Amino acid sequence: MSGPTAVVVDPRLGAVLPARAVRLVAAAPVVLLDASLPPALARRFADDLGAVAAGDGDAPPGAVLLVAGPDPEAPAGAELLEAVAVMDRLRSPGGCPWDAEQTHESLLRYLVEETYELYDALAAGDVAASREELGDVLLQVLFHARVAAESPVGFDVDDVAAELVAKLVGRHPHVFADEAGDEAQRSSTSGGAVVTSSDQDMRWEELKATEKRRESVLDGVALAQPAAALLAKYVSRAKRAGVPPDLLAAAVPEGPPAAVVGAYLAGGDPEGELRAAATALGERLRAVEVRLPAPADGAPRRTTSEDWRTHWE
């Protein structure tokens, strides 16, 4: 007698049967649970399908055995569900005491640190580090959503994702409008179609301003960002609003502020340029340090201005 038909279910997707196996399972005289299934998932299948643990005896003809394993046809994002489950485990009773103690406020510094580390990895073109740092930033999103879910007036990670989807769809009517719908939905500023990234950039800001009922072009700018980035963001918002570049350039003092505005108006990245300058300076300092007198007997190195001057070139 042949054994039961094995159906692989992906624990990452929860108690969800592969679409191709739904009819097979529905017609089975008995559904068996393999020991490879996580206990919580096995209980769900037992409750939902009346499935029972597989034994050592013979199974009746047509029986189905649910076995845990990766579904090769699982949709992209299946691992995100696993990440949410892990975050929930860490935060729940019996999880990690440190994770359980965290608040939005205590996590803020980690959010800033991880964002800068991701910036460094992407700027350096380091693929492995970028993947890792993106995960660390994702952790912050999951962590804050999980903390918020514990508040009586909070929200959860699904609310976060749903709001993001609504925002992306709402701000891209030229992409998501009904193919048979009114073409006016697809129009951009001044009645023209969105055909370039500049068109979409302007359309995005218009839709955002309407959604959030902003009274100023500067409303919503994050004030905690570095000063050069903040100034560049103000210039960006003002430029999109139609302020002439010469007025913007004349609106700030001469010197570094004017240089930041000028660099941005010229299509540059002043924050990136300042960061690149800092990186170059750091490399120069480290290169000079190699040539400085070595410290004696493990004591801290003490240098003079003359030491630096002598070894600078």
The domain ranges of the chain are 5-68, 78-170, 179-213, 221-293+307-313
Radius of gyration from C-alpha coordinates of the chain: 29
Cβ atoms of residues 36 and 68 within 8 Å:
yes
pLDDT in tens, 113-145: 899 899 889 988 999 999 999 999 999 999 999
pLDDT in tens, 21-65: 999 999 999 999 999 999 989 999 999 999 999 987 788 889 999
* Average pLDDT taken over every residue of the chain: 83
**Side by side, which strands form the sheet with 52-53?**
5-9, 64-68, 31-33, 52-53
Q: Beta-carbon neighbour count of residue 133 at 10 Å?
A: 20
Query: Could you say which of 3.40.225.10, 1.10.287.1080, 3.40.50.2000, 3.40.50.300 is the CATH number of the domain covering 78-170?
Result: 1.10.287.1080
Question: pLDDT at position 187, please?
Answer: 47
What is d(CA 65, CA 55) in angstroms, rounded to the nearest whole number?
Answer: 11
Residue 155 pLDDT more than 90? yes
Q: What are phi and psi of 52, to 5 degrees?
A: -130, 160
SS3 call for 187: strand
Question: pLDDT at position 5, please?
Answer: 93
pLDDT in tens, 179-227: 434 544 444 444 445 556 556 566 655 656 566 666 677 788 888 788 8
Question: pLDDT at position 184, please?
Answer: 46
Q: Beta-carbon neighbour count of residue 189 at 10 Å?
A: 12
